[in-house]
Amino acid sequence: MVKYRVFVLKGDADSSELAEKLGKGNVSVKKLKLYSRNLLLAWPDSGKPVDHPGIEFQTSIDSEFILSSREWKRDDTIVDVGGVHVGRDVTIAAGPCSIDFTENIEEFASQLKKAGAHIIRGGAYKPRTSPFSFQGKGTEGLDILKKMGEASGLPVVSEILDSDNLKDFNGVDLLQIGSRNAQNFQLLRKVARDGRPILLKRGMGNTYTEWMATADYVMSEGNGSVILCERGIRTFDNATRFTLDIGSIARGKNESHLPICADPSHPAGTRELVIPMTLSSVAAGADMILVEVHPNPDLALSDGKQQITVRDLAKLAESVKSLRQAIRV
């Protein structure tokens, strides 16, 4: 495995001289800026520290994910999503899997906020297994989501499938990359350059390391506002729709400085399991919960069985609060 060396430079120190020096030794070099700091990434690493007056800190990383690693950034990254700071306490993002209704949207948004939501989620573009399944309302759905955000005063998150649609997402505070696009590297790079925070879901067939490494694609474009989302993976077991990888949440909190989100709805597959999966995720260290809530789940056009009601959301939020207090003690 190739080793990498990350250099954190002092203040506004010029990295050009150091990059030129490293490049003479058949070393690949990438310059970037993250968290208002100038960085230099060099590989392969010889294992020997480099002496240069502009270096504040340097470390060798023996891993397939570099920029998302805690080895060079020990403090937790806090991601600002429209004024909501993900990573300080448990953030709850709630709303419909797909925005498939047009009535009473302001009232529903207010109910979500009252029940404990800090961010409103809602799908407008839906990648479905079958081309004949409901694919979402597109721009109309985004307009409805934005109205929900305005009515409640909460930021909003929605999944983007194509970077060509970025202009339609103006007013969306958090851009979600879904499981099916988790390794669509061109999409990751283009959306990263937009500069908005990104909620990066784990691919349903991705290993833990692959999940972490996808964040590096976003961060290598200079966007450090990344939230990693565990949404369940496919395994041999069919007790649940997907297997929620609680171990990866705990490991991710230990090895990465990025906030970790858990999506309990998709692995649950049925609403009765959503709250227990939420609590297990929080106990493992999840900073954020992304949960599907519908005004009438039985009439939902997508994933109705796993969507909970507003009343259930209130129970979930209260249970999370109680668990957090117990863990702190």
For the chain (length 329 residues), average pLDDT per consecutive 10? Answer: 88 82 82 93 88 92 93 96 97 96 94 98 84 78 96 97 94 96 96 97 96 97 98 94 96 97 96 97 97 94 93 98 86
Look up residue 18 and give its amino acid.
L
68-74 contacts: CB < 8 A, separation 24 or more?
Answer: 68/212, 68/213, 68/215, 68/216, 68/219, 68/226, 68/228, 68/256, 68/257, 68/258, 69/212, 69/255, 69/256, 69/257, 70/254, 70/255, 70/256, 70/257, 71/6, 72/6, 72/8, 73/35, 73/257, 74/257
User: By the 8 A CB rule, do 90 and 286 touch?
Assistant: yes
Q: Which residue has the tokens 């194509």?
A: 162
3, 62 Cβ separation under 8 angstroms: yes
pLDDT score at 232: 96
Task: Give the per-residue pLDDT at 7.
Answer: 93
pLDDT digits (tens, 9 = 90+) for 95-106: 999 999 889 999
Locate the domains of the chain by residue range: 4-61, 79-328
Amino acid (one-letter) located at 87: G
pTM: 0.95
Q: What is the pLDDT of residue 48?
A: 85
Q: What is the CATH number of domain 79-328?
A: 3.20.20.70
Q: Please determine whether the domains at 4-61 and 79-328 fall in the same fold group of CATH.
A: no
Residue length of the chain: 329
- 86: closest CA among 253, 240, 259? 259
Classify domain 4-61 at the CATH topology level.
Alpha-Beta Plaits (3.30.70)
Helices (H), ranges, 153-219: 185-194, 208-219
Token pair in block for residue 165: 């649609």
User: Which residue is listed with tokens 């502009």?
Assistant: 54
- Only one residue has tokens 């991705």, namely 206
